[in-house]
Chain A
Amino acid sequence: MDMLLEALFSILTLEGLVTILCGVTAGLFIGALPGLTATMALAVLLPFTFTMSPLQGLMALGAVYMGAIYGGAFTAILINTPGTPSSIATTFDGYPMARQGRAYEALAAATIASVVGGIVGVAFLLLLAPPLARLAVVFGPAEMFWVALLGLTLVASLSSGSLLKGLLGGCIGMLLSTIGVSPIGGETRFIFGIPALQGGIALIVALIGLFVVPELISMAAQGRGALPESGKLQGGAGSAIGRMGRHIFGKPINLIRSCIIGQIIAIIPGAGGNVTSLVAYNEARRFSRDPASFGKGNVDGVIASESSNNVMVAGSMVPLLTLGIPGAPPDAIILGVLLMHGLRPGLDLFTETGVLTNGFILSMGFAAMFLLPVGLLGGRLIHRVVVKTPFYFLLPSIAMVTILGTYALRNSMIDVFIMLLLGTAGYFLRLIGIQAAPIVLGMILGVIAEKGYVQTMLVAVVDPIPWLRLVANPLSIVLACLVVLSVATTLLPGWLERSGRMAKVDSDEEKSP
């Protein structure tokens, strides 16, 4: 409790609050740009935190994350283009509402839902993270190996239509993570005589390359411009906020359910905001008395999507801060910052550096609250700037910041080359069905899996069957079973469908507005 109060006072300074406000505004702006994800927002703005203190840097990035996830709702509602993947479900009802002249209602609902979702996520994080951090201590090498594998199987099944391609992407990521000096053996691997590769491929370089460059290439090919005509703001802001506030809090069950769904999915390593919002949207429709109105402008769809994806922002920090496993792709950047400042996820984060950790968590709560004034008052301005910026200025600007950000990481032009190479490869891999998310998760989880696997094998060197040490205690057996269960639940629906025992769901009919 003392740490919590100390943390609260450390962020309740003018500098702290201005940092959060700037972070939320910057995140909102980038998140509102179609194609720019929260991961990209964090990756692009990361270099600006290098000179900040650890707490201030984490506060800024937490606020950017919160703002970016919420910002995605703007273009989702106004021009039917999700600003971030987390806002995909927001388009289903938000855009029809805007077409009906209820843009402000949709924006107000998205804002209130995002604020509540953000605060609920922070509350969950404060309550769940410390006990989970204590649990993390009992995780040995074998358990960490299974946790890494669990994260990988989940992302492989969730991120794309093909399990095989998802797993292949994960393997490619894990192999990329092995480039450089071996964490246990200490030898250099796969550097092909290039000394600059001894340090390996930095996670952030890969993230920028795999997430930003394919979008740049795609935007250039499509010559994408702004679409100002399709998303005019109509109606009064004040009355819409009041109406939506009464609607949301008058029947809070949708909000509560969506927040709980968001939190549960957020804890699963690798599941991103797009998954949480789609699941919450689906459940809101399933429990609604008028499911047919979903997809035609039902505000409950917007509320479900936006509340759940903002719960995920803080919620996904639970596995990150306790086990070092990113709950969602943007968390990988936060992990990078933690490691850069010498902070290791686990119990120490809540004891030795408890003030910093609690300060970071609380700052996300403040960031959620700042969404209300920034989102509602700046909405019109952001809409105008974002949608009307000519793409031929936007694209070179993003490319320049991307190159600068990558170079600044280690003052290395080789890193810039690797970033461009991975990005170009990422674009073509996406075309053949191998998505960036499994590759990145493979890179993150590969390191954890390797350490766990090799350390377990070292301990078991005198055992007759060494790999049995991977399932030598109850916790590792449970985790191994979860891995098998995760793979089974992914494969089972497809098998049932193929064998004709389960009717194929017509998802197009359900999703299209």
Chain B
Amino acid sequence: MASTVSTPPTGTPASGEAVDPALERAAERAAARRGALLALPGFVYLGLFFAVPLAIVFVYSFATRSSTGRTILGEWSLRSYGRLFDPLVGGIAWRSLWIAALATAICLLVGYPFAYFIATRSPRVRGLLLVGVMIPFWSNFLVRTYAWRLLLGSDGPLSQLTDLAGLGPSRLLFTPTAVLIGLVYGFLPFMVLPLYAAIERMDFGLVEAARDLYASGWKAFRHVTWPLSRPGVVAGSILVFIPSLGAYVTPEILGGSRTTMLGSFIVRQFLSARDWPFGSSLSFVVMAVMLLATMVYFRVGGKTL
């Protein structure tokens, strides 16, 4: 496939060179029509099965909780938004941001060279290595996470390893580190897949040229490979960061539920506190902030990362 990329096409009509403006406008309109047509199925689907449901919970966020935990529609208030200023919420949000950011950084640090290595194998090996990343994830999520409990436990293999190394038994289970390991484990494929997709399509002729041009491999990487793979980095970071922020099973199982993150906090509002208005408003604020950050990240990250 890479060979297709490196064969330069001939006779491309470079846009805008002395073309009749009327024709050009017609072409633009045709393109817009095609674009809209491509967008239509997704737009209709997400509009119906996502935006409309979302509007329903948006309405719920202004409702009130009755003392039996029922959501009373019709008594509108901003009470649930007011509760967002509780320092409890701030503390949890801050901690979640930190852990999610760390998990994303580690995934990138480990996932990038990993994806690069895979992308530079021969096509057949590539496919095998890539599927090899996904296979573990077709077992069951809970069972995998519980397996980590054993690995990290005080009698687990990791602890025995550090003991043998003379460091004494280590106990990682039920610490924030364990949560971090669990998150990295769970979301590494989310980083690797877009990175692989981005690196694999690079025009390796360019990289080769850069090799010749720059003295060191590092410089070639910094000036050519990295910028070319940036869309993958941006997409991968988002796919890791956001789900990490909302994770709640991992902190519960590996963190012993002592590292409360935003995800668990929201779950609690909907289930055990039965405060749907607060759960809704919390979700909305988190989503709004994330959407904004994502957009900015894409805009900035696409250019200057």
| Chain A bound to chain B | no
Interface residues of A (CB under 8 A from B): none
